[in-house]
């Protein structure tokens, strides 16, 4: 029986163009620019100086605050600059710029393909390793993993859920790591289960990835307490709240945290990074990125060092086609449009998607015909048409009553609206106001 979440959702065409193209290692760029703000929380503080020589995997920035993560060099070479540079949206963010010289790794990193299945560390030691390795959630939010694996006092984790849904159209990076490295992911899950002190782990994978389901099922048999759950294809199944609902049938309360249901959700990519950090001493310095789009001559999956410019990724598939209209970092439903192609990849980058004007064009906005399709599609059971109106009339109090803070910004409402009304655009603006008001009230 295929499971899925109960409320709302949409079914965009899955467009997994790069499903069958094998993973390639992207050639090293001449320079990398590593962002200091690539995780949720405070930006990291650089500890290297201009002119320093660094090795692959060497610590170059320390966390600065509770919610923060260290950053490591993804290449070997000389630090050329430490300066603010524009990120993909054009906002200045401190970067450490390193000129690449050779490919020399820190000696303690185990680069052999050997699988390391023995693990005798305690939960505290595991958490310390994960923290030192700078691991953040690779599903998109980039929340530091060690914090997520340490439930706040009074809350108890009961189950670990690995997110292998990859419900965004076009993306195939998680599909590939599940097919190619199922044992490592399963071992990563074991390590996180030990850190959390739970005995059970579900791996949720959507039905359109049969090879990944098979590979993970075989791996799950080798390790205890793991179970692969085949899920129906439906967006946004990879949303944390939707995934918990789909797999264990519990709903995260409004304004609550996933841990309130006893579940901790981690991406399969994060599980792999945890395995590499704990068993192979490898900090998070590279990730799998899908470069895709119908207008590209080829669609590929690359293993990419963090800090590589997006332009290099596009060059590797033959450059930007003439008819490209929008380039997106991430999936088409929640990814961010790139305005600056010299911006560089970060830990949570998962894809570069090139869309033509025809594919991405919004239809002209017409009057609301009150079909209610946005409310049917909303996975949080909100009424987007109402929130949109309230946002337009600037009524934050009523937006709060209508639980705008529950909005996960998945985009189902805007995707589905037959009248082409920019529902989510306005709701986002209104939601930001409401959140500000709610925070100021708490103080």
Partner 1 sequence: MSNLIVSPSPHLHGPESTRRVMGDVLIALLPVTLVALLCYGWSVLILLLSGVATCVLCEYLINRFLLHRPCSVGDLSAIVTGVLLVLNLPPAAPWWIAVVGAVVAIGIAKMTFGGLGQNLFNPALVGRVFLLVSFPVLMTDWTIPHGLLQDHLPSLSAQVDAFSGATPLGVAKEGLGAGSTLQELFAGGQFNWNMFFLRPGGSVGELSALALLVGFLYLLCRRVIKVTIPLTIVATVVVLSAIFSAVDPARFTGPLFNVFTGGLLLGAIFMATDYVTSPMTTLGQIIYGVGIGVIALCIRYFGSYPEGVSFSILIMNCVVPLLNKYCKPRRFGKEAK
Residues 6 or more apart whose CB falls under 8 angstroms from that of 154 comprise: none
Complex with partner 1: residue 46 or 331, whichever CB lies closer = 331
Among 369, 393, 437, 438, binds partner 1 (CB under 8 A): 369
Pairing mode, if any, of strands 71-72 and 92-100?
Answer: unpaired
Q: How far is the CB of 405 from partner 1 (least distance, A)?
A: 11
Separation CA 296–CA 321 (nearest Å) = 7
Which part of the chain contacts partner 1 (CB under 8 A), choosing from 202-210, 221-229, 283-291, 353-361? 353-361
Complex with partner 1: residue 168 or 206, whichever CB lies closer = 168
- DSSP 8-class letter at 248: H
The residues in 146-205 that bind partner 1, with binding defined as CB under 8 A, are 169
Complex with partner 1: residue 122 or 323, whichever CB lies closer = 323
Q: How far is the CB of 80 from partner 1 (least distance, A)?
A: 27
Complex with partner 1: residue 217 or 395, whichever CB lies closer = 395
Residue with tokens 């708490």: 442
Separation CA 322–CA 362 (nearest Å) = 20
Complex with partner 1: residue 111 or 361, whichever CB lies closer = 361
Contact 253, 244 (CB under 8 A): no
Residue with tokens 């993306």: 171
Q: How far is the CB of 188 from partner 1 (least distance, A)?
A: 29
The residues in 303-332 that bind partner 1, with binding defined as CB under 8 A, are 320-328, 332
At residue 420, φ and ψ (nearest 5 deg) are: 65, 35
Contact 237, 165 (CB under 8 A): yes
The residues in 238-297 that bind partner 1, with binding defined as CB under 8 A, are 241, 245, 251-256, 260
Residue 430 in contact with partner 1, rule: CB under 8 A: no
Separation CA 393–CA 94 (nearest Å) = 38
- DSSP 8-class letter at 205: E
Residues 6 or more apart whose CB falls under 8 angstroms from that of 20 comprise: none
Among 20, 91, 122, 339, binds partner 1 (CB under 8 A): 339
Residue 398 in contact with partner 1, rule: CB under 8 A: no
Contact 265, 243 (CB under 8 A): yes
Q: How far is the CB of 54 from partner 1 (least distance, A)?
A: 33
Complex with partner 1: residue 213 or 423, whichever CB lies closer = 423
Cis peptide before 236 (omega within 30 of 0): yes
Among 2, 111, 155, 362, binds partner 1 (CB under 8 A): 362
Among 92, 117, 210, 366, binds partner 1 (CB under 8 A): 366
The residues in 12-31 that bind partner 1, with binding defined as CB under 8 A, are 12
Separation CA 293–CA 169 (nearest Å) = 10
Residue 416 in contact with partner 1, rule: CB under 8 A: yes
């Amino acid at each position: 029986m295929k499971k899925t979440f109960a409320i709302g959702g949409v079914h965009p065409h899955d467009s997994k163009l790069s499903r069958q193209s094998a993973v390639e290692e992207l050639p090293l760029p001449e320079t990398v620019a590593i962002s200091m703000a690539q995780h949720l929380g405070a930006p990291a503080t650089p500890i290297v100086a201009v002119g320093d020589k660094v090795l692959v995997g060497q610590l170059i920035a320390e966390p600065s605050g509770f919610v923060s993560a260290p950053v490591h060099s993804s290449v070997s070479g000389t630090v050329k600059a430490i300066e603010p540079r524009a990120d993909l949206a054009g906002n200045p963010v401190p970067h450490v710029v390193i000129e690449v010289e050779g490919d020399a790794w820190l000696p303690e990193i185990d680069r052999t393909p050997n699988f390391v299945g023995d693990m005798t560390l305690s939960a505290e030691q595991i958490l310390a390793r994960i923290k030192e390795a700078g691991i953040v959630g690779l599903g998109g939010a980039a929340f530091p993993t060690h914090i997520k694996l340490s439930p706040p006092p009074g809350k108890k984790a009961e189950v670990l859920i690995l997110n292998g849904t990859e419900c965004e159209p076009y993306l195939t990076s998680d599909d590939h790591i599940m097919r190619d490295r199922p044992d490592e992911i399963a071992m990563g899950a074991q390590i996180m289960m030990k850190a959390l002190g739970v005995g059970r782990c579900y791996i949720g994978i959507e039905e359109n990835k049969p090879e990944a389901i098979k590979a993970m099922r075989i791996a799950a048999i080798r390790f205890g307490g793991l179970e692969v759950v085949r899920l129906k294809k439906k967006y946004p199944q990879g949303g944390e709240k939707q995934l918990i609902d789909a797999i264990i049938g519990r709903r995260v309360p409004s304004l609550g945290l996933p841990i309130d249901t006893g579940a901790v959700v981690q991406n399969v990519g994060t599980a792999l990074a945890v395995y590499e950090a704990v068993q192979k001493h490898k900090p998070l310095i590279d990730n799998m990125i899908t470069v895709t789009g119908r207008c590209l001559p080829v669609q590929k999956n690359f293993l990419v060092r963090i800090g590589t410019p997006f332009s290099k990724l596009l060059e590797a598939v033959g450059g930007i086609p003439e008819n490209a209209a929008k380039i997106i970092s991430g999936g088409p439903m929640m990814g961010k449009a790139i305005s600056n192609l010299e911006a560089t990849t970060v830990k949570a980058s998962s894809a570069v998607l090139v869309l033509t004007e025809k594919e991405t064009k919004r239809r002209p906005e017409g009057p609301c015909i009150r079909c209610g399709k946005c409310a049917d599609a909303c996975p949080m059971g909100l009424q987007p048409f109402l929130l949109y109106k309230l946002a337009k009339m600037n009524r934050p109090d009523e937006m709060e009553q209508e639980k705008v803070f529950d909005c996960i910004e998945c985009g189902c409402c805007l995707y589905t609206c037959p009248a082409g009304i920019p529902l989510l655009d306005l709701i986002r603006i209104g939601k930001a106001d409401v959140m500000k008001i709610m925070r100021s009230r708490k103080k």
